Amino acid sequence: MATAAHQLTPQEASAQPPAENVVVRFAGDSGDGMQLTGGQFTLSTALAGNDLATFPDFPAEIRAPQGTTFGVSAFQINFGSTDIDTAGDAPDVLIAMNPAALKVNVSSLKDGGLIIADEGEFGARNLAKAGYDTNPLEDDSLGRWQLLSFNISQLTLEAVKPFGLGNKEALRCKNMWTLGLALWMFDRDRQPIVDWLKAKFAKAPTLAEANIAALNAGHAYGETAELSGFLKQHHISAAPAEPGLYRTVTGAESISLGLVAGTQLANVPMFFGGYPITPASAILHHLSRLKEYDVTTFQAEDEIAAIASAIGASYAGSLGVTSSSGPGIALKGEAMGLAIMTELPLVIVNSQRGGPSTGLPTKTEQSDLYQAVYGRNGDAPMPVLAARSPADAFDCAIEAVRLATQFMTPVMLLTDGYIANAAEPWRVPDMSRYAPFPVQYLETVPEGGFKAYARDDKLARPWVKPGTPGLLHRIGGIEKANGTGNIDYSPSNHQLMTDLRADKVLGIADHIPEQEVTLGESKGKLAVVGWGSTYGPIHQAVRRQRMKGRDVHHIHVRHIWPLPRNLGDLLRSYDKIIVPEMNTGQFKTVLRDQYLVDARPLNKVSGQPFRISEIEAAIESALS
């Protein structure tokens, strides 16, 4: 083989800088183990020191017909040697395990991107199921991309043949073969995956060894393929990061840890009442493993029982917590009104998904903001927070606990399907840097007698554990008399109590930080205002546009209600405002209502997160 050497000059190096990040999407049938493959690739990527963001994208059906487009499951990861805020726009590499996976995902692939396809699955039957008249691996329809196809199924069968598995069981190892190839492509260590397989199949060592053999075979195939010239290995350097202990964390894990941290800072036990619903169920799963932190978990028979049990726990002196998604939050509405009327602390987590009704169970949306801010009968205000990323959900959960316990009010914390399921690196915080906010139960009879609805300087009523001597009281859902808490539905009292409850919540604005500009300056031509999981694409789009010299700035709001006290003045300092949301314009309407600013919407309700390019196009249009 002829070789040639060339010394790369600094000018040449700067003309073609190395890629800072790569986007890879694994796609296959929902039984092909794509989420597991993506999760383990994420583990190896985190251990390599890269920054990353993931996007699991799976069907709502428990088991869609094999080989069909609506049964396709995908996992996308964006990783690199620079800050990563999103799971990436268009993949650089698509690994398609069957024709349906190719059909659903190929249009998202970058021009010139690499397709790796399992040609063993591209038979006439699977092609017909996916809606192909001809084999796309052979008809030049994929000419816009690089194509690498080989029989992964057959190669997997050969790799695991010594272990005597049946054909069906052997083919289940092909996701490990694919993972081995991906690990080789991006210079990843196999040992953590080997260790994980041995632990996972500790009671079935033959399965462990078969999967390890498939993993090693995929890795070896990459080395062989590179020698023949059609596949190359890419090394992505570690991202710069502050020293500390890091782990990958999903939004559901982060919220669970944040709730535990919050209750520890408040020195109060936690009771979690939940009912299974996608994508909120994982919070119950995680909290059930944290009982040693004075956490009690209860899987109720329905959504109403779940929140009612949490309210009962709060009455008894624990912090009640419940979670759900949009349909379940709707069912909890009356009980939320009860918590507002009784003025008990309660944390409600809403992992939003596409709606209405059952809607899009496994897809993401931000369409429950109206429901969170306004969606209860009567004038029933409560604080509302929104996490911007999986890691941010930890601090948001602590803040939700603080507001609930300090102001004796239910608090809603909004995430969504993207945040709940996605993963990113998280620097484990030093909890000594968090200021405690211990709960002060009323335990003695005050001078002048006990009043269940007496108020402190924050308008919060006392929290009394039932059975405390001299502090006997009862509360319920009928309007309360000011001070005593006795039943009183006279017109003047209802007016007073409605105003008091509203003033208490609005007064929280004096106990939260003022709104900061996330990127840019505090005045200019255009502000892009976001909330929740739109943070990543907005931040990257604004950063890119500012690098081009455009006068654009990013503001991201955590406290949705009450809004930060300086937000109105801040928004009025920009000529134009656009608000990207995965709904039909709900936060835009809140901003218009509260501040009379001309906020313009940028809406998307496809069940998929925003792309950076979509927000860049909106910025360019607004500034043109």
Question: In this prediction, what percent of the chain has a pLDDT beyond 70?
Answer: 96
Average pLDDT, stretch 475-483? 94
Residue 85: closest CA among 331, 317, 390, 387: 390
Question: Does residue 12 surpass a pLDDT of 70?
Answer: no
Q: Indicate left, alpha or beta for 173 from its phi (over 0: left) and psi (-120 to 50: alpha).
A: alpha
What confidence tens digit (pLDDT) does each residue in 141-179 have? Answer: 999 999 999 999 999 999 999 999 999 999 999 999 999
What confidence tens digit (pLDDT) does each residue in 314-345 have? Answer: 999 999 999 999 999 999 999 999 999 999 99
CATH numbers and ranges of domains, the chain: 19-228 (3.40.920.10), 248-433 (3.40.50.970), 517-623 (3.40.50.920)
Q: How confident is the model at residue 228 (pLDDT cuts 50, 70, 90)?
A: low
Query: Which are the contacts of 375, defined by CB distance < 8 A and separation ≥ 6?
Result: 329, 330, 333, 368
Distance CA 324, CA 375 (A): 15
The single residue listed with the structure tokens 């499951």 is 73
Q: How confident is the model at residue 224 (pLDDT cuts 50, 70, 90)?
A: confident
Q: How confident is the model at residue 227 (pLDDT cuts 50, 70, 90)?
A: low
Average pLDDT, stretch 238-256? 92
β-bridge pairing 524-531 and 423-427:
unpaired
Sequential DSSP letters for 421-477: H-EEEEEPP-GGGSPP-------SPPTT---TB---TTSPPPP--TT-TT------S
Distance CA 416, CA 404 (A): 21
Distance CA 249, CA 580 (A): 25
Residue 61's pLDDT is: 77
Distance CA 356, CA 343 (A): 30
Distance CA 159, CA 507 (A): 66
Residue 201's pLDDT is: 94
- Please answer whether residues 305 and 313 qualify as being in contact, where contact means their C-beta atoms are separated by less than 8 angstroms: no
Question: Does residue 52 surpass a pLDDT of 90?
Answer: yes
Question: In this prediction, what percent of the chain has a pLDDT beyond 90?
Answer: 89
Look up residue 173 and give its two tokens. 């190892």
Query: Which are the contacts of 137, defined by CB distance < 8 A and separation ≥ 6?
Result: 117, 119, 122, 147, 149
Look up residue 414 and give its two tokens. 């909004």
Secondary structure letter of residue 173 according to DSSP: T
If DSSP codes are grouped into helix, strand and coil, which group holds residue 499? helix
Sequential DSSP letters for 389-406: STTHHHHHHHHHHHHHHH
User: Which residues in 30-187 belong to E strands, given as ranges?
Assistant: 51-57, 72-80, 93-96, 114-118, 146-150
Residue 6's pLDDT is: 33
Sequential DSSP letters for 19-53: PSEEEEEEEEETTS-HHHHHHHHHHHHHHTT-EEE
Average pLDDT, stretch 244-259? 95
If DSSP codes are grouped into helix, strand and coil, which group holds residue 553? strand
**Average per-residue pLDDT for the chain:** 93
Residue 19's pLDDT is: 52
Residue 252: closest CA among 275, 295, 276, 285: 285
Question: Does residue 106 surpass a pLDDT of 50?
Answer: yes
Residue 229's pLDDT is: 59
Question: Does residue 4 surpass a pLDDT of 70?
Answer: no
Residue 225's pLDDT is: 78
Distance CA 285, CA 273 (A): 12
- Angle of helix 191-200 relative to helix 34-47, nearest 10 degrees, comes to 130
Q: Indicate left, alpha or beta for 461 from its phi (over 0: left) and psi (-120 to 50: alpha).
A: beta
Average pLDDT, stretch 589-597? 98
Distance CA 485, CA 568 (A): 36
Distance CA 62, CA 543 (A): 40
Work out the burial of residue 457: count CB atoms within 10 Å of its CB; fewer than 13 is exposed, 13-18 middle, 19 or more buried: exposed
Provide the CA 454 distance to its chain's centre, in angstroms: 39
Query: Which are the contacts of 492, defined by CB distance < 8 A and separation ≥ 6?
Result: none
Residue 15's pLDDT is: 38
Average pLDDT, stretch 228-257? 87
Residue 72's pLDDT is: 94
- Please answer whether residues 409 and 345 qualify as being in contact, where contact means their C-beta atoms are separated by less than 8 angstroms: yes
- Please answer whether residues 67 and 130 qualify as being in contact, where contact means their C-beta atoms are separated by less than 8 angstroms: yes
Q: Where are the alpha helices (DSSP H) in 548-602?
A: 567-571, 586-595
Query: Which are the contacts of 13, defined by CB distance < 8 A and separation ≥ 6?
Result: none
- Please answer whether residues 528 and 541 qualify as being in contact, where contact means their C-beta atoms are separated by less than 8 angstroms: yes
Query: Which are the contacts of 196, defined by CB distance < 8 A and separation ≥ 6?
Result: 40, 43
Cα of first residue to Cα of last residue in the chain, in angstroms, is: 55
Residue 189's pLDDT is: 93
Question: Does residue 494 surpass a pLDDT of 60?
Answer: yes
Q: How confident is the model at residue 17 (pLDDT cuts 50, 70, 90)?
A: very low
Provide the CA 88 distance to its chain's centre, in angstroms: 15
Distance CA 383, CA 508 (A): 8
* 559-561 β-sheet, strand order: 295-299, 270-274, 319-324, 346-352, 410-416, 384-386, 559-561
Distance CA 119, CA 124 (A): 11
Look up residue 227 and give its two tokens. 């020698």
Residue 272: closest CA among 302, 310, 317: 310
Distance CA 313, CA 346 (A): 9
Provide the CA 376 distance to its chain's centre, in angstroms: 25
- Please answer whether residues 386 and 532 qualify as being in contact, where contact means their C-beta atoms are separated by less than 8 angstroms: yes
If DSSP codes are grouped into helix, strand and coil, which group holds residue 85? coil
Give the largest CA-CA distance in the chain.
98
Helix, strand, coil distribution of the chain in percent, nearest 5: 40, 20, 40
What confidence tens digit (pLDDT) does each residue in 533-573 have? Answer: 999 999 999 999 999 999 999 999 999 999 999 999 999 99
If DSSP codes are grouped into helix, strand and coil, which group holds residue 530? strand
User: Amino acid letter at 254?
Assistant: S
